[in-house]
Amino acid sequence: MPQIDSAKKALRQSLKRRDVNRRFKKTLKEAQKKYITKPTEEGLKLAFSLLDKAVKKNIIPKNRAARNKSRLSKLIGGEKKKTAVKSKGTKAKKM
């Protein structure tokens, strides 16, 4: 345990910040999982918003947020592509 007053205060601050960050990360993960199970525009907006806030608060690195956004975007893009693309037969090339 810290003996100096400033160290005691720093410990209190770090514990509070850890709790806030843990709660925020949990909310972020829940939003992402909810979107993955049922992709909707509203879910995507919420997940993007939470990722941006996490980066702004230095909870997660910006490249991780970018990677997660890309992966989440592919889900809703994949849904549209699956319905729009029809399977085509392959043709032999002439030489």
Q: The domain containing residue 53 runs over which residues?
A: 12-77
Which tens digits make up the pLDDT trace of 15-44?
Answer: 999 999 999 999 999 999 999 999 999 999
Instruction: Report yes or no on 26 lying in a domain.
Output: yes
Instruction: Report yes or no on 44 lying in a domain.
Output: yes
In the predicted structure, residue 92 carries a pLDDT above the cut 90: no
Q: pLDDT at position 87, please?
A: 53
Instruction: Report yes or no on 17 lying in a domain.
Output: yes
Instruction: Report yes or no on 94 lying in a domain.
Output: no
Terminal-residue alpha carbon distance, the chain:
80
Q: How many domains does the chain have?
A: 1
Provide the whole-model pTM.
0.74
Q: Which CATH number covers residue 68?
A: 1.20.58.110
Whether 52 contacts 12, CB under 8 Å:
no
Instruction: Report yes or no on 47 lying in a domain.
Output: yes
Whether 36 contacts 76, CB under 8 Å:
no
